[in-house]
């Protein structure tokens, strides 16, 4: 584990912890490939998502942001106290096991990002900081894994209650949930975001019709909708954070040409790619 000031790197870059929200934006935006848990013990934080939405995190609240859900600028009040925990997708799945279904349903399908921390939130930041500093413990890795699993399961319990998952009649099978999780991982990992349903089904060794059935049973949305949303997240990120031309972005994402890319983006975002880039960069 490496430590610099209030920043901790744990388990070979699988976990990062920033114990201060005062100067968050650069570090926050650099970790968009990780699942994030932002906790605000005092003051307030405003997180701007790439699609234009804003989420206000107030005192004693937690904001959960899934991997590859690209975010925009983060602003904080002068009196803010809190931190942010980043967990790789690989580590998250390893720690949660079968309970990853609760996380995926609440986060990706219901988009429940904000939960109340309650009384235990005050202890969360303090205990995390104290634990991560004790790098010389002989059982440090095992202790951290156990602690993180307990923490993540607590979050899943809160998500299940808030999203109503605990009271839902789930008709999807375990196999369908597993395939759906693989589908989400495929979308996240594939650099060429403009995939077709047929391409995804081929990668998963199933038919497009069966993939459509699985997605609708598990999430209520078809695979085309998931592909489109995933593509737009990458569009937002490249337009905001890179200096690539519109043509270069179009090529990278797998569009046949920049004209088609422009039409696709405008239909989803309500503005042209260049208008989005100018507007977002002007707000940074």
For the chain, which domains are there?
2-166 (2.60.120), 174-283 (1.10.10.60)
Sorting pLDDT into bands at 50, 70 and 90, what band is 185? Answer: confident
Residue 5 has pLDDT above 60, yes or no: no
The predicted model gives 159-179 an average pLDDT of 70
The predicted model gives 66-92 an average pLDDT of 80
Highest mean pLDDT pick, 110-124, 166-180, 217-231, 254-268 = 254-268
Contacts of 80 (CB under 8 A, 6+ apart): 21, 22, 40, 42, 43, 44, 45
Cβ(45)–Cβ(76) below 8 Å: yes
Separation between Cα atoms, residue 8 and residue 272, nearest integer Å: 40
Residue 246 has pLDDT above 90, yes or no: yes
| Model pTM above 0.85 | no
Count the alpha carbons within 13 Å of 39 in the hemisphere toward its beta carbon.
Answer: 25
By C-alpha distance, which of 66, 98, 77, 65 is closest to 22? 77
CB atoms within 10 A of CB 242: 12
Phi (first) and psi of residue 268, to 5 degrees? -85, -40
Residue 1 has pLDDT above 50, yes or no: no
Q: What is the pLDDT of residue 202?
A: 94
Strand 114-116 and strand 61-65: pairing? antiparallel
Helices 140-163 and 121-132: crossing angle, nearest 10°? 160
The predicted model gives 105-128 an average pLDDT of 77
Sorting pLDDT into bands at 50, 70 and 90, what band is 3? Answer: very low
Separation between Cα atoms, residue 9 and residue 131, nearest integer Å: 12
């Amino acid at each position: 584990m490496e430590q610099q000031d209030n920043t901790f790197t744990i388990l070979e870059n699988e976990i990062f912890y920033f114990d201060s929200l005062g100067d968050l934006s650069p570090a926050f935006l650099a970790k968009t490939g990780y699942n994030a848990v932002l906790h605000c013990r005092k003051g307030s934080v405003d997180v701007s998502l790439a699609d234009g939405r804003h989420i206000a995190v107030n005192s004693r609240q937690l904001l959960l942001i899934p991997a590859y859900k690209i975010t925009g600028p983060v602003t904080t009040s002068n009196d803010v106290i809190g931190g942010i925990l980043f967990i790789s997708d690989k580590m998250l799945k390893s720690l949660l096991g079968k309970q990853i279904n609760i996380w995926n349903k609440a986060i990706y399908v219901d988009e429940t990002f904000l939960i109340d921390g309650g009384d235990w939130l005050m202890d969360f930041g303090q205990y995390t900081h104290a634990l991560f500093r004790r790098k010389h413990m002989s059982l440090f890795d095992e202790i951290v894994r156990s602690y993180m699993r307990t923490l993540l399961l607590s979050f899943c319990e809160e998500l299940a209650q808030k999203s109503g998952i605990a009271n839902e009649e789930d008709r999807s099978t375990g196999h369908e949930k597993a395939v759906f999780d693989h589908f989400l991982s495929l979308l996240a990992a594939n650099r060429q975001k403009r995939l077709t349903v047929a391409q995804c089904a081929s990668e998963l060794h199933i038919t497009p019709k069966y993939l459509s059935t699985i997605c609708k049973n598990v999430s209520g949305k078809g695979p085309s909708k998931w592909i489109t949303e995933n593509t737009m997240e990458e569009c937002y990120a490249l337009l905001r954070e890179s200096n690539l031309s519109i043509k270069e972005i179009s090529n990278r994402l797998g569009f046949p040409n920049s004209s088609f890319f422009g039409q696709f983006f405008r239909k989803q975002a309500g503005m042209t790619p260049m208008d989005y880039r100018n507007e977002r960069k002007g707000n940074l």
